């Protein structure tokens, strides 16, 4: 029996899908206001393990992941660059898909974009108004959390010290400020506006996932995933909107992936420990090494990214590849007295039991590596028959259908993964500290702090990097370092 830890209720429960043999899975997708970083990929890789394991256990999985291409952050970014939302978000969406493929993550069945689902969002807001769960104020529409008694059950927020009737417009806010949240935001001069039957405006972030999950999975579905930072307010608000509008339980199992930290610290550009996939590949690693590292820590534990841990991932992946190579080298017709059948059966049992236990990846990998360790000496001694080698190789492939550590047809480790070079117009990659300075200058420019942005430009020129601002963003070139 598969068991998952359900954030709703805080217990590990047997997994029983609503429809036998079929699992409907929704994962909150990227907000495409910037390139993804490795922390973003952790939740995606975990969701891929979950999906592959369900498929391995014989379920048909319908997987939906949204793309948030309109929210506070994308609007702010597009405005700062003077671009349409579409032009602003496009390179980030492309980078997301390219990096997904490089990390051997199986594509979802649907990638709905928020801007393509405004009528569905309006439909839910209208239902919430009609049923008395929402109210209008100054051109915006808010969800009244007092009208929904189950509010707070997922995140266990403290509802006692909130001020009655307090409300907020921001998409993101802290647990300490529980309040009525915006479903639909009044038009502002510098924001995109949709003319709709509930009035002009644009959606709040939370309503987007309620609308897109219902459209592709129905009002009730099996599993909703995301990072722990999505639990409040995002997922709490999704439950409130969906259940109040539809009158049925929204989701049965909520699975949340913990944070990634780098060298024990939160990733931040200012600390110089901020990594995109491209930064790691520039150091000579394979994207699949990154996948191994992201998967090797249980999803509900904090993952500490270090280059030592990445080197261990390289070794682990090489051991699997070397083992398959040795098995392939067993000559045709080779006889051997080793009974590999029971070893494979034990490995399979351990692998499955581990993953059935809330995706206990450490136990599953231990089963695989124990097998490799016990068979390697038999191979050296020539005791594995050709038929035995086939049985062993078939099991490794079987396990890899879940793990995805070997390149597969959807895995394209092409040059496209370097999102940075795509934007910069060069195949060369900058050092993380130089990139951090460029990003800082972009923020200074966006804030119209031109003295600061010019100072950073001069500083980079002294280090031999010249910047050019184009309509596609900033480009850089290497030149001889220039004295001030």
Does position 28 interact with Zn ion (CB under 5 A)? The reply is yes
> In angstroms, what is the minimal distance from the CB of 28 to Zn ion?
3
Per CB under 5 A, the segment of 202-210, 257-265, 320-328, 365-373 that binds Zn ion is 202-210
First and final CA of the chain: distance in angstroms? 68
Please identify, using beta-carbon distances, which residue of 28 and 467 lies nearer to Zn ion. 28
Beta carbon of residue 45, minimum distance to Zn ion (angstroms, whole number): 18
154 is a contact residue toward Zn ion (CB under 5 A): no
| Bridge partners of residue 4, in order along the sequence | 13
Determine contact, residues 261/267, Cβ cutoff 8 Å: yes
**Least CB distance to Zn ion at residue 245 (A):** 16
HSE of 231, CA atoms in CB hemisphere, 13 A: 21
| DSSP conformation letters of 324-363 | HHHHHTSPTT------HHHHHHHHHHHHHHHHHBT--HHH
Q: Considering the complex, what minimum distance in angstroms separates the CB of residue 180 from Zn ion?
A: 19
Q: Is 121 in the site for Zn ion (CB under 5 A)?
A: no
Choice between 26 and 59, CB closer to Zn ion: 26
Residue number with CB closer to Zn ion (209 or 467)? 209
Q: Which is nearer to Zn ion, 27 or 281 (CB)?
A: 27
Binding track, positions 409-438, relative to Zn ion; x by CB under 5 A: ------------------------------
**If binding means CB under 5 A, how many residues of this protein chain bind Zn ion?**
2
Shortest separation between residue 209's beta carbon and Zn ion, angstroms: 3
Which 204-233 residues touch Zn ion, going by CB under 5 A?
Answer: 209
- Side-chain-side CA neighbours of 129 within 13 Å: the count stands at 18
State in angstroms the smallest separation of the CB of 346 from Zn ion: 41
Closest to Zn ion by CB, 8 or 371: 8
How big is the chain by its Cα radius of gyration, in Å? 25
Nearest to 53 by CA among 299, 421, 233: 299
Nearer to Zn ion, 75 or 212 (CB): 212
Residue 117, judged by CB atoms within 10 A of its CB (0-12, 13-18, 19+), counts as buried
| Cβ-contact 134, 125 below 8 angstroms | yes
Minimum distance, C-beta of residue 63 to Zn ion, in the bound complex (Å): 14
Calculate the alpha carbon distances from 205 to 28, 150, 221, 313, 320 in Å. 11, 21, 20, 36, 43
ω before 207 within 30° of 0 (cis)? no
Q: Of 23-31, 123-131, 382-390, 427-435, which part binds Zn ion (CB under 5 A)?
A: 23-31
- 26-34, 52-60, 333-341, 442-450 -> range binding Zn ion (CB under 5 A): 26-34
Closer to Zn ion by Cβ: residue 209 or 399: 209
* Helix or strand (DSSP H, E) at 88: helix 85-102
Sign of CA dihedral 127, 132, 133, 139: positive
Torsion of CA 230, 236, 238, 239, to 10 degrees: 140
| Nearer of residues 28 and 281 to Zn ion, judged by Cβ | 28
Q: How far is the CB of 262 from Zn ion (least distance, A)?
A: 25
- Binding residues for Zn ion (CB under 5 A): 28, 209
């Amino acid at each position: 029996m598969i068991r998952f830890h359900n954030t709703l209720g805080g217990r590990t429960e047997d997994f029983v899908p609503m429809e036998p043999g079929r699992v409907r899975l929704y994962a909150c997708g990227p907000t495409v206001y910037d390139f993804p970083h490795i922390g973003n990929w952790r939740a995606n890789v975990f969701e891929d393990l979950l999906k592959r394991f369900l498929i391995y256990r014989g379920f048909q999985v319908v997987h939906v992941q949204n793309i948030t291409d309109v929210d506070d952050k994308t609007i702010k970014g597009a405005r700062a660059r003077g671009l349409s939302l579409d032009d602003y978000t496009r390179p980030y969406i492309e980078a997301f898909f390219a990096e997904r493929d490089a990390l051997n993550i199986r594509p979802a069945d649907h990638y709905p974009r928020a801007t393509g689902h405004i009528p569905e969002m309006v439909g839910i807001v209208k239902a919430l108004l009609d049923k008395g769960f929402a109210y209008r104020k100054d051109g915006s529409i808010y969800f009244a959390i007092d009208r929904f008694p189950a509010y707070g059950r997922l995140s266990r927020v403290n509802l006692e010290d909130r001020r009655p009737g307090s409300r907020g417009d921001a998409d993101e806010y802290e647990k300490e400020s529980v309040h009525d949240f915006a479903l639909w935001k009044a038009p502002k001069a510098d924001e995109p506006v949709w003319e709709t039957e509930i009035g002009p405006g644009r959606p709040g972030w939370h309503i987007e996932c309620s609308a897109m999950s219902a459209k592709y999975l129905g009002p009730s579905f099996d599993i909703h995933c995301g990072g722990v930072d999505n639990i409040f307010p995002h997922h709490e608000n999704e439950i409130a909107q969906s259940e109040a509008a539809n009158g049925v339980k929204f989701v049965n199992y909520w699975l949340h992936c913990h944070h990634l930290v780098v060298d024990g610290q939160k990733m931040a550009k200012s600390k110089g420990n901020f990594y995109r996939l491209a930064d790691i590949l520039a150091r000579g690693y394979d994207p699949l090494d990154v996948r191994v590292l992201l998967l090797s820590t249980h999803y509900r534990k904090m993952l500490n990214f270090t280059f030592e841990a990445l080197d261990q991932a390289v070794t682990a992946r090489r051991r699997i590849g070397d083992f398959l190579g040795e098995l392939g080298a067993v000559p045709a017709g080779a006889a051997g007295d080793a009974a590999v059948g029971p070893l494979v059966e034990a490995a399979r049992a351990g692998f499955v039991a581990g993953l059935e236990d809330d995706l206990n990846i450490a136990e599953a990998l231990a089963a695989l590596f124990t097998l490799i360790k016990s068979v390697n000496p038999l191979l050296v001694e020539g005791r594995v028959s050709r038929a035995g080698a086939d049985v062993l190789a078939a099991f490794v492939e079987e396990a890899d259908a879940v793990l995805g550590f070997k390149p597969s047809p959807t895995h394209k480790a092409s040059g496209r993964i370097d999102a940075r070079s795509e934007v910069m117009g060069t195949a060369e990659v900058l050092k993380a500290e130089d990139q951090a300075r460029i990003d800082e200058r972009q923020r200074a420019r966006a804030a119209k702090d031109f003295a600061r942005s010019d100072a950073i430009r001069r500083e980079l020129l002294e280090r031999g990097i010249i910047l050019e601002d184009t309509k596609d963003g900033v480009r850089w070139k290497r030149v001889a370092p220039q004295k001030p």
